[in-house]
Structures are given as C-alpha cells and as structure tokens.
Structure 1
Amino acid sequence: MSIPAIAPLTFVDDWADAFPDLLPGLWVSIKVTLIALVIGLPLGLLLAIANGARARVVRWLAVLLVEIGRGMPALVMLQLLYFGLPTAGVVLSSFWAAGLGLGLTTAAYTSEIIRGGLNAVPQGEVEAATALNLSRTDTLRFIVVPQGLRVAIPALMGFAILIFQASSLAYTIALPELLAQAYSWGSSSFKYLPVLVLAGLMYAVITIPAGLLTERAERRLSRHL
C-alpha cells in the first residue's frame, strides 16, 4: 500500500509551475490598485471638502454621491462600467473599467475617512486663521487639509490594502489579474486548490507588509497628534 504524498510537498511542484503564469497577474492587480488610488483619493478629498461647504446644494450633492458610491457594491460598479456603458456608446477596456470602478468606490469611502480627519483639526486653529483674516480657501489649503490628511493617513493606507484585495473582483470583467490567472491555470490543469492557495499567498506577500507599515505609520503619527 503506497503512502499518499504530503499535500504541501505536492503543492510545491504545482506552485513552481503556476508561479510564472500568476506573476504577471499580480502586476496587473498592483497597477489597477494604483490607478484606483490615483483616481479615488483626490476625488475623495474633493467630496470631503464639498461635504462641509456652506452652499447647501453643493453639500447635498456631495452627500448624495458618497451615499451612492458606498451603497453600490464594487462588483456592481465594475459590471456597470464594463457592460453597461457600451450601451450608451462608451466603451472601456477591462483595465480602465476596473481602475475607474474601484477609483469611484475609493472616492466614496475615503471621502468619509478624510472628512473625519478634517473634522479632527482643532477648531481653535480655524478661529485663529479667521482672526488673521485668512480666507476660507487659504484656511483649508494651509491649515485644515494638511493636518486633516495627516490624521487620515493610517486609515487611508488601510483602505488601500482593501482596494488591492478588491482588485480580485476584476476577474469578472475579463481582466487578467491575479485571480483570473489562477482560475485560468486551474482550469487547464484541474488543480484549483494549489493554485488558489498560491494566489492567496501572493496577495498576502503584499498585504501583510503593507498592514505592518500601516500600523507603524499610525503609531508614529499618533505621537505628534
């Protein structure tokens, strides 16, 4: 009676075969995440500022956009941009549909994170700026926004990790990111378990150090707040 091979040992051979195919997918996932952050963080800042605007229409519009963005699942957003927009004559590649969709989701969620940071700025500093005859724009630019973003940095870093993980949703719109490459390799070899475990480990290689960096940034910044 033969003794079955230990699973981790058999996994190693499968991982060696699958890794070259999965590595380009990991790079695609990283690029989509970067695009989403480049789009989403500035939009999130604008929405956070608009949320505190004096004009009621601007404030209500910002709240409406944020609630729609937070209420719509990221997967639905990706499907809408990739499959829905072509019916209106706008065609996006799977890469840009994923980047824009995750970027809009990022904007909605980070706007609340940034708004919390802006609200954490001591009111006394805002009043001091008013006493110095600084305009509302200059007060935001030189006092509120820099300090508010500093407070929000750890939470924004943590959300960036979540967006990297959410990039796996892009496999549903035919983007050859990490999970899509894992499924492709699994369908051709009929070995889904080892390749999906490898994909999970490759995500972890990025997210675990990023999480530790986030904790370190939070501890370091908290000493100055």
Structure 2
Amino acid sequence: MISVLAEQFHNWLPQMLGGLRISLIVTGMSLLIGIPLGFFLSLGVMSKVKPTRWAALTLVEVGRGAPSLVLLQFAYFGLPTAGLTLTSWSASILALSWTTGAYTSEIIRAGLQSVPAGQREAAEAIGLTKLDMMRFIVVPQGLRIAIPALLGFAILIFQTTSLCFAIALPELTARAYEIGTNTFQYLPALVLAGLLYLLICIPATMIVGFIEARAQH
C-alpha cells in the first residue's frame, strides 16, 4: 500500500509542482500589487478630504466584506458582461490584489496610527512639514510595526489561491482535482496537494513568528 502510494506521488509530483509554481506566482503578484494598494487605501481612509475618504472606505469595505471566491467569479464571469474579458490569470491577480489591498490597508493604518503622538509633536516642533513627517517618521515606524502582520497575511493569500481552481486557473488544487478526475484517486491527490501547501506554510509561519518575536524586543 505504501509503495503504491509512493509511486503515485512520484508520478504526480511534476504536475503538482507546476501547479504550486502557479500558486506562488499568483501569490507574489497579488502581494506586489495589493500591499502598495493597501498603503494608499490606508492613507485615503485617514484623509480629511471626504470624497477621498469615502472612495477608499468603499474599496476597503467591499474588498473585506465580499468573499474572495465572489471577487474571483466577479472578475472572471462578471466583468465580461461589461465588455472586459480577463484570463483566469488576470482575474485571479485582480481579485486577490483587491482582497490584499483591502485587508492590508487596515493593517498598515493600524501601524501608522500606533506611532506615538509625541513623535509627531516633536516633528512639528522642529519645523517638519506634514509630508516630511510622514516620510521620515510615521511611515518607516508604522510599516516596521505592520511587517509581521503583513507577512502573516501573505500566508493566507497563498492559501486563498486554492480558490482559483473555480475559475479554471491550473494552480495546485486544480492540478490535484484534475489528477483525481483522471485516476479516481481523489484522496491521495488531495493529500499530496495538502503536503505541498504545508511544505510552504509551516516554514513561512515559523519565519513570521521569529520576525514577530524579534520585533517585540
């Protein structure tokens, strides 16, 4: 039994690794777009200009309130009715970038607002403009505080890429389902997919924990 399972895993591994590669690329692209988006959304939410604040709040609340699967299907199936057709790659990156931007905006905003008021007052006392105060004092410290939470969220986005199989993206879960469909060996295929997810998530979680512990000292 074990030898048969090992042989199956060996035969399926190249296809699974191809799916894992796609999952990692989509994760990286979503974070690359989503985290800067989250930064600007956090500034928008804190803005005193009402139209800017309400526009940012709308994007944040929709991105946080709508399940990622709904956003994926909206991008892939919904946008074509408005004349914009996206590939499964583009739809996945668009939807997950929106989700990333919405959630990380709150993480970043919390980090920025946690900078002690005394430092802001000291910056004003030495004549720094509001822009310079944000650039040199608030943003560097706020992002440093937010980094552990941002890294933890990156792991969640990697796991969320498994939903992309619903819009035909050939990522890791989709490859496992395809193997199960072709061989009727769903359980072993999904077990192998789960092991590959764990291979990424467990070391990443340990690294995040280490960084978080260092940040607290």
Q: Which residue, out of 70, 85, 106, partners 1:91?
A: 85
CA distance in 2, matches of 1:105, 1:55: 24
Q: Secondary structure at the match of 1:90?
A: coil
TM-score, length-normalised on structure 2? 0.97
CA offset digits 1:19-53 (Å, max 9, x no partner): 11111000000000001001100010001111111
Tell me which residue corresponds to 2:197.
203
Shift of 1:193: 0.5
Write the mapping of 1:44-123 to structure 2, written as runs, cut at 5 A: 44-123=38-117
CA distance in 1, matches of 2:86, 2:53: 30
TM-score, length-normalised on structure 1? 0.94
Higher mean displacement: 18-27 or 128-137 = 128-137
CA distance in 2, matches of 1:135, 1:92: 43
Asked if 1:136 corresponds to 2:124, the answer is no
Larger radius of gyration: 1
Q: Secondary structure at the match of 2:161?
A: helix
Shift of 1:9: 4.1
Q: Secondary structure at the match of 1:121?
A: coil
Q: Which residue, out of 170, 173, 181, partners 2:175?
A: 181
| Counterpart AA for 2:137 | I
CA distance in 1, matches of 2:76, 2:168: 10
CA offset digits 1:180-218 (Å, max 9, x no partner): 011111111110100100000001100100000000110
For structure 2, which runs of at least 5 residues remain unmatched after alignment?
Answer: none
Shift of 1:221: 1.3
Task: Provide the aligned length of Structure 1 versus Structure 2.
Answer: 217
| Counterpart AA for 1:162 | L
Q: Which residue, out of 29, 40, 43, partners 2:34?
A: 40
| Over 6 Å off, 4+ runs | none
Shift of 1:58: 1.8
Shift of 1:174: 0.5
Q: Which residue, out of 22, 25, 37, partners 1:28?
A: 22
CA offset digits 1:121-157 (Å, max 9, x no partner): 0111111111122111111111111100000000000
Asked if 1:218 corresponds to 2:191, the answer is no
| Counterpart AA for 1:61 | A
Shift of 1:56: 2.4
